């Protein structure tokens, strides 16, 4: 399965809990417009929103002490980059990955390699006083960074609530608590609104989420699996300890999904292709034409835009409750 996932450009997402996704074409018309760049979030007048030195516990369970609010920050994942911009720290970013492409300004930042292929020499040369990593970097990259005297913090959201927590923590460690609170407050309000609409739905449609043509799909325990449940769907994958299992066509057909969400970002699978697969024409989703491509950036990147992804998924599952 690893080989399959690597070819689909998705293996690092499994290891890092969905931190990599390339841009797709425009999202479907039924989906919400992407959130505006975080530069629209006003900066607080107070330069001292937190007390330093500060010791925090990161997502890897590490105790990390910051002597002062960081002025030079490197992000090792697109989600982290989007969080930094969302709370007005774009001017402090001195390095990002090649996959960090949102907001537009992120594309102009110096590159330090890929999310799973960090160039340590470039990181060290940038002289950051904070490196924001993910669970992908916890075992190898973070210890190497620390051995070179750099401060690193790991973020690893497992669901939408964890995303809110991660944004709050980034605000704390960068002295931008007010900006982080503003972003989190806006996200909470939107999540509550979406969940309120979903709660009025009369059904719980069976959902199959296709990640790759090899039928890799999210289990309920994954980030996207949690999103399916919160969006009022019933995942066709049930009991499994694997967060991203590969299932057979027979299982898909037997489960008869009522909604098929197409979440790949490299293979360009289309609704027409799925409809034409042998044996798939009998599926309820195919008969009803409920084959919905989604923009993976909005659901795979555990940052501020995940709320846009959540609404996109909720609309795909329960279009009847959205005007």
Write down all domains in the chain, each with its CATH number in brackets.
Answer: 2-31+199-321 (3.40.50.1980), 38-189 (3.40.50.1980)
Helices (H), the chain: 2-7, 11-16, 78-86, 120-125, 141-147, 160-173, 177-198, 223-230, 249-255, 271-275, 284-288, 296-300, 306-317
Chain Cα centroid distance, residue 208: 19
Residue 88, Ramachandran bin (φ over 0: left; ψ between -120 and 50: alpha; else beta):
left
pLDDT in tens, 38-68: 333 444 433 445 789 999 999 999 999 999 9
pLDDT at 274 over 60: yes
pLDDT in tens, 101-127: 999 999 999 999 999 999 999 999 999
Q: For the chain, give the mean pLDDT.
A: 87
pLDDT value at position 49? 55
This prediction has a pTM of 0.84
Radius of gyration (Cα) for the chain, nearest Å?
20
Residue 235, Ramachandran bin (φ over 0: left; ψ between -120 and 50: alpha; else beta):
beta
Residues near 244 by beta carbon (within 8 Å), at least 6 away in sequence: 5, 10, 14, 211, 216, 217, 218, 219, 222
pLDDT value at position 21? 38
The predicted model gives 211-234 an average pLDDT of 95
**What proportion of the chain, given as a percentage, has pLDDT over 90?**
80
Q: Which of 12-16, 20-24, 194-198 has the highest mean pLDDT?
A: 194-198
Exposed/middle/buried for 310, CB within 10 Å: 0-12, 13-18, 19+?
buried
Residue with tokens 């795909």: 316
In contact, 109 and 73? CB cutoff 8 Å: no
pLDDT at 256 over 90: yes
Total number of residues shown for the chain: 323
Per-residue buried b or exposed e for 20-47, using 16+ beta carbons within 10 Å of the residue's own CB: bbeebeebeeebbebbebbeebeebeee
Weakest-pLDDT range from 63-67, 221-225, 263-267? 263-267
- In order of 49, 85, 133, 212, the CA distances from 39 in angstroms are 19, 6, 22, 34
Q: Could you tell me what percentage of the chain is helix, strand and coil, using 3-state DSSP and rounding each to the nearest 5?
A: 40, 15, 45
What residues does 259 pair with on adjacent strands?
207
In contact, 4 and 264? CB cutoff 8 Å: no
The predicted model gives 192-203 an average pLDDT of 98
The predicted model gives 203-209 an average pLDDT of 98
In contact, 237 and 249? CB cutoff 8 Å: no
CA gap 112, 106 in Å, rounded: 13
CA gap 55, 286 in Å, rounded: 53
CA gap 221, 77 in Å, rounded: 22
CA gap 312, 308 in Å, rounded: 6
pLDDT at 220 over 50: yes
**267 — pLDDT class (breaks 50, 70, 90):** confident
Query: What tokens appear for 116 in the block?
Result: 């799973």
Query: What tokens appear for 208 in the block?
Result: 């199959």
């Amino acid at each position: 399965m690893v080989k399959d996932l690597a070819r689909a450009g998705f293996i690092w997402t499994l290891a890092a809990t969905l931190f990599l996704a390339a841009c797709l074409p425009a999202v479907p018309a039924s989906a919400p417009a992407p959130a505006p760049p975080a530069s629209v979030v006003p900066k607080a007048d107070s330069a001292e929103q937190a007390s330093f030195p500060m010791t925090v516990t990161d997502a890897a369970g590490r105790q990390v002490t910051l002597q002062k609010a960081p002025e030079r920050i490197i992000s090792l994942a697109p989600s982290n980059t989007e969080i930094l911009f969302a709370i007005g720290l774009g001017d402090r970013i001195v390095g990002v990955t090649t996959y960090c492409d949102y907001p537009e300004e992120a594309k102009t930042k110096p590159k330090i390699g890929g999310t799973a292929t960090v160039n340590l020499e470039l990181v060290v040369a940038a002289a950051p006083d904070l490196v924001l990593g993910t669970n992908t970097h916890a075992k190898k990259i973070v210890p190497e960074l620390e051995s070179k005297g750099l401060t690193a913090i790991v973020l690893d959201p497992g669901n939408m609530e964890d995303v809110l927590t991660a944004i709050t923590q980034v605000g704390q460690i960068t002295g931008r608590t007010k900006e982080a609170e503003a972003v989190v407050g806006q996200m909470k309000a939107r999540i509550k609104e979406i969940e309120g609409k979903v709660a009025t739905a009369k059904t719980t449609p069976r959902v199959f989420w296709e990640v790759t043509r090899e039928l890799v799909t999210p289990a309920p325990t994954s980030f996207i699996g949690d999103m399916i449940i919160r969006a009022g769907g019933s995942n066709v994958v049930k009991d499994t300890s694997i967060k991203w299992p590969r299932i057979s066509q027979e299982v898909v057909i037997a489960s008869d999904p009522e909604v098929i969400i197409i979440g790949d970002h490299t293979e360009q699978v289309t609704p027409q292709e799925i409809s034409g697969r042998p044996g798939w024409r009998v599926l309820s989703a195919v008969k009803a034409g409920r084959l919905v491509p989604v923009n993976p950036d909005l659901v795979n990147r555990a940052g501020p835009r995940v709320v846009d992804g959540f609404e996109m998924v909720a609309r795909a599952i329960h279009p009847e409750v959205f005007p």
